[in-house]
């Protein structure tokens, strides 16, 4: 396999900027693409992204507004919100050399189509080779170079290993797998479940309730993941259980914070992306299509859509029939 040297990251938000830093730290030549020319110019001039305030951009990273810069990339990383990934990949497709690995890093399921992020890449850039990176990793931690471990999946194991070597470093440790579906379902489901965990905290239901909710949420994630073809060891790994633990326990998470605000009866935090809120309906459609029960995710979707009050949803969950664990 040819060595990967040039990396182009699409999306100059918090995660794209953090991943550009990861690639630069791993010794790669990095271009960070911002859709908005003014944003590209500002980040390039100040070497600071307001989404990651106070964390200087690595000196070697070139910031551009020119999508054609992707044409020289050996690896492309898509770091835009899940519902925008198709548009970002479509705009990129004509500039990619055939066979270029395109790594999805959004955590969600597409509305309407119920497609996972690698499926979106397959459809929008059929000549690219999709991969997915996911796991417990806050952009702020990663950009600061704090120790992080994630999962990186590609159908071809040799490619997954090569991508790990191209992006990994002491502080950023990707583990490779060929279980693409298992990795992407963990990231998508945990965001929805983290909103429920936040509600538990916002409603002050106690630490025991939070542990119960997180664990029963994990059962849902595993049920859906296995039904969609993911492997149980992946779902119990960094991109499933690992990310669920992180996001269901830290106010640094935007999904958890949304839940806390909802539980307290406060307005949702402004200008903060909550992928779980966007993914909840599509996740439930997937669950229904596979005949999988997801009561916690269902409660989140019902609350967000205004079909249920928080108290009503909690009552529903607490009065479900007793059953065997599993
Ligand atoms: N922030 C974090 O800690 C982490 C985020 N993620 C995932 O990464 C994804 C992006 O999240 P953030 O970077 O945090 O969001 P963000 O809101 O900070 O940034 C999103 C960026 O995408 C850009 N964008 C939107 N549509 C685009 C398009 N069509 N072409 C090019 N750029 C476009 C926006 O201009 C914005 O700069 C989400 O799916 C999130 O779940 C994953 C791991 C960690
Ligand atoms: O995915 C993340 C950490 O792994 C980031 O979580 P939030 O999107 O909830 O902030």
Low-confidence ranges of the chain (pLDDT < 70): none
Instruction: State which ligand 1 atom lies nearest to the alpha carbon of 12.
Output: 37
Contact criterion met (CB below 8 Å) for 188 and 283: yes
Substitution site in 66, 81, 102 for ligand 1 pocket (most atoms within 8 Å of beta carbon): 81
Closest-approaching ligand to the CA atom of 255: 2
CA 195 from centre of chain: 14
* CA 142 to ligand 1 center in whole angstroms: 14
- Residue 112, C-beta contacts closer than 8 angstroms, at least 6 positions apart: 282
Closest-approaching ligand to the CA atom of 18: 1
* CA 94 to ligand 2 center in whole angstroms: 30
Handedness of CA 313, 318, 322, 326 (dihedral sign): positive
| R_g (Cα) of the chain, nearest Å | 19
Tokens standing for 227?
Answer: 């039904």
How far is 41 from 87, CA to CA, in rounded Å? 22
Closest-approaching ligand to the CA atom of 104: 1
pLDDT of amino acid 271: 82
Tokens standing for 137?
Answer: 């990793």
Instruction: State which ligand 2 atom lies nearest to the alpha carbon of 190.
Output: 1
How far is 151 from 160, CA to CA, in rounded Å? 10
Handedness of CA 238, 240, 246, 251 (dihedral sign): positive
144 lines ligand 1 (CB under 6 A): no
pLDDT of amino acid 1: 75
ipTM of the modeled complex: 0.99
- Residue 316, C-beta contacts closer than 8 angstroms, at least 6 positions apart: 295, 299, 308
pLDDT of amino acid 269: 86
Contact criterion met (CB below 8 Å) for 120 and 89: yes
In degrees, rounded to 5, the angle at the alpha carbon of residue 211 between the alpha carbons of residues 206 and 217 is: 125
60 lines ligand 1 (CB under 6 A): no
Give me the CATH topology for the region 186-319. Answer: 1.10.1040
Give me the CATH topology for the region 6-178. Answer: Rossmann fold (3.40.50)
- Domain coordinates in residue numbering, the chain: 6-178, 186-319
Tokens standing for 171?
Answer: 């502080």
Instruction: State which ligand 2 atom lies nearest to the alpha carbon of 134.
Output: 4
160 lines ligand 1 (CB under 6 A): no
List the residue whose alpha carbon is closest to atom 6 of ligand 2.
Answer: 253
pLDDT of amino acid 3: 80
């Amino acid at each position: 396999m040819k060595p990967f040297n040039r990396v182009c990251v699409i999306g100059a938000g918090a995660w794209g900027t953090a991943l550009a830093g990861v690639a630069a730290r791993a010794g790669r030549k990095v271009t960070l693409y911002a859709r908005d020319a003014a944003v590209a110019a500002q980040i390039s001039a100040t070497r600071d992204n307001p989404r990651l305030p106070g964390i200087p951009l690595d000196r070697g990273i070139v910031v551009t507004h020119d999508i054609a810069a992707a044409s020289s990339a050996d690896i492309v990383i898509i770091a835009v919100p899940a519902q925008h990934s198709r548009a970002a990949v479509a705009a990129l497709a004509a500039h990619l050399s055939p066979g270029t690995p395109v790594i999805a890093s959004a955590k969600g399921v597409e509305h309407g189509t119920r497609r996972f992020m690698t499926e979106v890449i397959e459809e929008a850039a059929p000549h690219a080779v999709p991969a997915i990176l996911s796991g417990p990793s806050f952009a702020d931690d990663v950009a600061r170079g704090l120790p992080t471990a994630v999962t990186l999946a590609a159908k071809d194991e040799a490619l997954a290993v090569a991508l790990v070597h191209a992006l990994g470093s002491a502080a950023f440790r990707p583990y490779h797998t060929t279980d693409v579906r298992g990795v992407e379902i963990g990231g998508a489901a945990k965001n929805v479940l983290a909103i429920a965990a936040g509600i538990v905290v916002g409603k002050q239901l106690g630490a025991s309730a939070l542990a119960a909710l997180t664990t029963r949420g994990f059962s849902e994630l595993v049920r859906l993941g296995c039904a969609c073809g993911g492997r149980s060891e992946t779902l119990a790994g960094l991109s499933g259980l690992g990310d669920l633990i992180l996001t269901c326990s830290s106010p640094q998470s935007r999904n958890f914070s949304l839940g806390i605000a909802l539980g307290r009866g406060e307005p949702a935090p402004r200008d903060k992306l909550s992928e779980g809120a966007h993914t909840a309906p599509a996740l439930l459609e997937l669950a229904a299509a596979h005949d999988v029960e997801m009561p916690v995710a269902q409660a989140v979707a019902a609350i967000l859509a205004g079909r249920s009050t928080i108290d009503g949803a909690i009552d529903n969950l607490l009065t479900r029939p007793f059953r065997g664990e599993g």
